[in-house]
Chains A and B, each alone.
Chain A
């Protein structure tokens, strides 16, 4: 089946630094990728929708200048957390759509990236 990878799987950084997380679709092209965030003991919440070649659409309450999303190719979307603070510590999960020839669509999830900001 289709696979979505994320890199890194885990990152620890100092407060004030920037962290880049990559999301790749390994054997299919994804015109749309989604970024979710999961705080401890909570469920996944959509942060933004990333469309190849255009600006991302952010959910209400998500700062677009803090969480920079770039979807430069059909297989790669990146999320950069700028000037990270401890409250940004979370589990970040991406997903990507595989649009099949039959018109159906399946969304595959990456394994997640755990960010800890000290």
Chain B
């Protein structure tokens, strides 16, 4: 059974810092991996989607990498801003037509 973990569970940093969020999954046979952002009481905002054949994806200040063989992904946030404060969820898609399995999330707080 696929399990997804995320480290750290919570993170508080001053504005401007570069930071790395970690995601691990137990079964490397995934279809794709996606990073989401969730603000309190809100739904999911898709940040980056990495297909199983890809190694990384970039969007603005965000960069996500995928090492399928080791079951790991990292989300790199450059020059963090208070507006980045949210919970970041990592999720893996098991196969075409299947559901996502979500990690527990990392709660990020960027202090002004």
Q: A112 is contacted by which of B36, B42, B103 (Cβ under 8 Å)? A: B42
Report the bound CA distance from A100 to B96 in whole Å.
12
Residues of A in contact with B (beta carbons under 8 Å apart)? 32, 34, 36, 42-46, 49, 93, 95, 97, 104-107, 109-112, 114
Asked if B64 is an interface residue, CB under 8 A from chain A, the answer is: no
Asked if B89 is an interface residue, CB under 8 A from chain A, the answer is: yes
Residues of B in contact with A (beta carbons under 8 Å apart)? 31, 36, 41-44, 46, 49, 51, 89, 91, 93, 96-97, 99-105
Q: Is the CB of B93 within 8 A of A43?
A: no
Q: Is the CB of B43 within 8 A of A111?
A: yes
Q: Is the interface of A mostly helix, strand, loop or mixed?
A: strand
List chain A residues, Cβ under 8 A from B104. 42-43
Chain B: CB-nearest residue to A31: B97
